[in-house]
Amino acid sequence: NAGVTQTPKFQVLKTGQSMTLQCAQDMNHEYMSWYRQDPGMGLRLIHYSVGAGITDQGEVPNGYNVSRSTTEDFPLRLLSAAPSQTSVYFCASSYSTGTGTNEQYFGPGTRLTVT
């Protein structure tokens, strides 16, 4: 299994540009999520999905869109990039059964710089 994969690993955007961060998992996990990591603030949840066709907002959703057309893929779209979106972005997935550890498996991250 490849686990959770993210592309690209690095990206530089100009203010106002749009782009899509790709995330895919091959573990048949129902739950997928996007986090951003900023210095001194830990990881903050942007958007999440509990299954294909179902998405919802997390703690910091403004400026981002998501969709979940398949179980495997959960892309994150930046609509009009701003310097405040410079961050490291992590995609994660897990099972959503009601018992057990159900730890979230994280992708390797995408380092995004907006100039």
Partner 1 sequence: AQKITQTQPGMFVQEKEAVTLDCTYDTSDPSYGLFWYKQPSSGEMIFLIYQGSYDQQNATEGRYSLNFQKARKSANLVISASQLGDSAMYFCAMRGSFSNDYKLSFGAGTTVTVRA
For binding to partner 1 (CB under 8 A), which residues are involved? 31, 33, 35, 40-45, 48, 50, 56, 58, 88, 90, 92, 94, 96, 98-99, 101-106, 108-109
Minimum distance from CB of 108 to partner 1 (Å)?
6
Contact 60, 45 (CB under 8 A): yes
Q: What is the DSSP string of 32-63?
A: EEEEEE-TTS-EEEEEEEEETTEEEE-SS-TT
Minimum distance from CB of 34 to partner 1 (Å)?
11
Contact 94, 80 (CB under 8 A): no
Contact 114, 86 (CB under 8 A): yes
Minimum distance from CB of 82 to partner 1 (Å)?
23
Q: Output 13 or 36, the one with its CB closest to partner 1.
A: 36
Minimum distance from CB of 69 to partner 1 (Å)?
19
Q: Output 30 or 72, the one with its CB closest to partner 1.
A: 30
